[in-house]
A = this chain, B = another copy of it.
Amino acid sequence: MILAGGAGSRFWPLSTPERPKQLLPLATQDPLLVDAVRRLTPLVPPERILVITGEALADTVRGAVPELPPNNVIGEPRAAGTGPAIAWAAAEIERRDADDPTMLCVHADWAIGQPAAFRDTLGRAAATAERHAALVTVGIVPTRPDPGFGYIQLGEHVNGAHRVARFVEKPDRATAERMVADGYLWNSGIFVWRTAIFLAEVDAHAREIAPALRSAALGDIAAFFTAVTPVSVDHGVLERSHNVLVVPGDFAWDDVGTWAALRRVRARDAAGNATTGDVHPVQTRDCVVYAEEQTVVLYGVADLVVVARDGITVVTTVERAADLKSMLDALPQRVRDRR
């Protein structure tokens, strides 16, 4: 299953509720969701890929990935975090495949540098999940002490995997540096498990989800999402379970969290500029520029983020682009609502 919910304002003014991050061509010339499906299909045929997204986006998503059967795109009537979305998908997978299926969860809005290594890791994670009847999370070998991610401390070694000793929420920078030095992995949000094992853990631990899942009539998604309490799968299930293994993944993984991430995930020119669209950097270095139906010319600047779309241009620095909230707060509503 591919989680494709969430709007996010971090790519304003490009991301809007109608066109959230996963539908933007941030890592390649194609939307992140299209990249995500393409990355999986050598491993999982399209007819066995489910996409969970907001109800209002379901038709847009179907249009973006026409290789998936239309009823493989599921619209959530209400955003309730990753816990209910994954639980619903697990139940749906069981309805469609009664033969002890194993499910794999990824997000639609990632950039992955080495898709073959990614698929190889998923294969090992699936084998581990099936063999040990465990919840398996993929922990990414960190490339920097990023305080923007959760971390996983490794416990006892189990056949090429580890028990999870501890999940750590987004740390401060000093803690992140110490954890990277101590061999902690990034908590990527890539999960693999047999649906039966996962649903049993939900039943045992996730009081926010389990009652709704039991009482909702088979396949009544509206009833389920009405009854459920929003919770992340990490908090609602994984942190409470005693049956979680972590498989290390050593490939470039980026959650493309901000405009600044485009300097990591996109191809850059000789001067370090990551550009999308009709962009002309002259004597300019290390800029991120996204132009849509616009020409952008830069001259003699560095480390800027410039986003131009029809009718609106934003100019900021790579550093400031990491948090646009105070910018958005300062703008009049009519500008913030431009889309």
Contact = CB atoms under 8 A, between A and B. Distances in A.
B298 A331 contact: no
B313 A313 contact: yes
B312 A295 contact: yes
Q: What is the interface of chain A mostly: helix, strand, loop, or mixed? A: strand
Contact of A327 (B297, B313, B315, B335): B297
Contact of A282 (B280, B294, B306, B326): B326
Contacts of A313: 291, 294-297, 306, 308, 313
Most chain B beta carbons < 10 A, residue from A300, A304, A311: A300
A304 B312 contact: no
Count copies of this chain in the complex.
2
A327 B282 CA distance: 6
A62 interface: no
B299 A335 contact: no
Interface in A169-204: none
Contacts of A13: 297
A338 interface: yes
A232 interface: no
Contact of A326 (B283, B326, B327): B283
Interface stretch (A25-33, A99-107, A112-120, A316-324): A316-324
B331 A315 contact: no
Contacts of A300: 316-317, 319-320, 327
A299 B282 contact: no
Contacts of A280: 330-332, 335
Interface of A: 13, 278, 280, 282-283, 291, 293-301, 304, 306, 308, 311-317, 319-320, 324, 326-327, 330-332, 335, 338
